[in-house]
DNA sequence: TTCATGATGTGACAAATGTCATATTCTGAG
DNA sequence: CTCAGAATATGACATTTGTCACATCATGAA
């Protein structure tokens, strides 16, 4: 299990490395101390998991994670935080991170890494209990790209393979409007054409909720 | 686990029902005796798994399976045969069936069904041993649509979101040739445009090998 | 009311796409 | 060698797509 660790407290990141490296399965490829580091190291080493602090001096972990996931939707990013902060958790989920665990939960870090490595999402028990107000299901990943609901509807139609004319019929819009929407959407997602949009849709598993 | 059973030997299908129904998890929705039955019953009941014989009088099981999978790529079809016939196995795999087991392996039928229900593919041990000449990896599901290797390469490029010009660069073909290929491919798969092709690609999980 | 804003629409345009008829080239079977 | 059939290419063409500038309209805040 190849890891990259990022924490702006060098003591923490170093300790983590020491502790985690004790396990023969674990290999720490690199250590960083800022969001910027996270991006560089991620794309340099392509670790199985990027274990990262959220609150950091040099650019926060959430923005960095968002950018990494924009380029590589399959990146496994596991956040390690000191606090149970609802906004943080919400955002972490929204950008598609694989989990949010607490530094205090010392013993659970390694098992959590394993879980993520095997494709699970993992959240500290405290979180699930403490925040029943959050409906995890409702957190829609597309909000991360500032798509409106209507825009997302359009995306879905494109991802079904409909033409602009067909979409205009399905959504009761003029064909011209559909095109305008498309232009906006492609702009927001930094894509070139409807085919890339469909590809993006399935690669990011937007078809699964 | 909801099943539809199809075997042209009514004794076999009836016995199977009796035996499988003994397990409380199993529910046999219907029994058929021909390939035609298989299609009708599949789309009438939408079972979790269609357990079907290959060699049957009223239209063979492979053709029926192919047609079902053309309409519903996610159909779980498990073939139950008396013989270890390489051609059968090859075809079964090629059309995207979930497995090929032997009637003799009596005790393994139920476990195999469970495996398929949980998303696995399953093949009788005899098969994997007896036929080392077959490289399972090489059996490509797209052969079912008579796509050539080159055509499939093109499909992959489209499914990555490349334009015709980009594809022509990647595959060392002229842009015109790429278009011609595209026309053929769309014709073969009965699709309209490249976006539908990309959608088809991911829906049929061609991205997973 | 006035104004800003967002949702929707139109027209014009260039580029990309898909179709078709028709070459050209290469290669393998006979 | 010769021929048939792939594979590859070209040009013409109609359509669709994506972009842009600019309307129109409703609605809610000031």
More confidently predicted of A18 and B207? A18
Kindly report the backbone phi and psi dihedral angles of residue A85, in degrees, each rounded to the nearest multiple of 5, phi listed first: -105, 115
Give B-chain residues touching A191 at CB under 8 angstroms.
161
Which residues of B sit within 8 Å Cβ distance of A? 158-161, 163, 191-196, 198-200, 202-203, 207
How far is residue A34 CA from its own chain's centroid?
17
- Residue A111 pLDDT: 76
Q: Which of residues 186-205 of B touch strand C (CB under 7 A)?
A: 186-187, 192-195
| pLDDT, mean of residues A146-169 | 90
CA of B190 to C1' of D9 (A): 25
DSSP classification of residue A85: -
Determine contact, residues A103/A81, Cβ cutoff 8 Å: yes
- Residue A137 pLDDT: 40
- Residue B25 pLDDT: 86
Kindly report the backbone phi and psi dihedral angles of residue A172, in degrees, each rounded to the nearest multiple of 5, phi listed first: 60, 50
| pLDDT, mean of residues B83-112 | 75
- Residue B208 pLDDT: 65
- Residue B126 pLDDT: 54
| pLDDT, mean of residues A13-20 | 84
Largest CA distance in chain A: 62
Distance CA B9, CA A83 (A): 65
Give per-residue pLDDT as tens, A165-174: 999 999 999 9
Task: Give strand letter and number of the nucleotide nearest A183 (CA to C1').
Answer: D18
More confidently predicted of A190 and B59? A190
| pLDDT, mean of residues B61-90 | 81
Determine contact, residues B141/B206, Cβ cutoff 8 Å: yes
B13-44 burial, b if ≥16 CB within 10 A, otherwise e?
beebbeebeeeeebebbbbbbbbbbbbebbee
| pLDDT, mean of residues B79-108 | 75
Three-state DSSP at A51 gives strand
Walk me through the domains of chain A, giving residue ranges and CATH numbers.
Answer: 2-137 (3.40.50.2300), 141-203 (1.10.10.10)
Q: With an 8 Å Cβ cutoff, are B161 and A202 in contact?
A: no
- Residue B190 pLDDT: 84
């Amino acid at each position: 299990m190849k890891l990259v660790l990022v924490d702006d407290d060098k003591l923490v990141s170093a300790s983590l490395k020491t502790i985690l490296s004790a396990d023969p399965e674990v290999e720490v490829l690199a250590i960083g101390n800022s969001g910027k580091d996270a991006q560089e190291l991620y794309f340099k080493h392509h670790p199985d998991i990027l274990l990262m602090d959220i609150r950091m001096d040099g650019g926060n972990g959430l923005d960095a994670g968002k950018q990494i996931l924009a380029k590589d939707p399959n990146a496994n990013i596991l956040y390690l935080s000191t606090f149970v902060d609802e906004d943080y958790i919400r955002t972490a989920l929204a950008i598609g991170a694989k989990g949010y665990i607490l530094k205090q939960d010392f013993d659970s870090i390694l098992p959590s890494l394993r879980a993520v490595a095997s494709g699970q999402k993992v959240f500290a028990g405290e979180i699930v209990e403490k925040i029943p107000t959050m409906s995890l299901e409702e957190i829609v990943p597309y909000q991360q790209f500032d798509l409106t609901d209507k825009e997302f509807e359009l995306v879905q139609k494109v991802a079904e393979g409909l033409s602009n004319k067909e979409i205009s019929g399905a959504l009761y819009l003029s064909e011209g409007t559909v095109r305008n929407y498309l232009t906006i959407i492609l702009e927001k997602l930094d894509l070139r054409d409807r085919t890339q949009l469909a590809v993006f849709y399935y690669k990011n598993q937007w078809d699964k909720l």
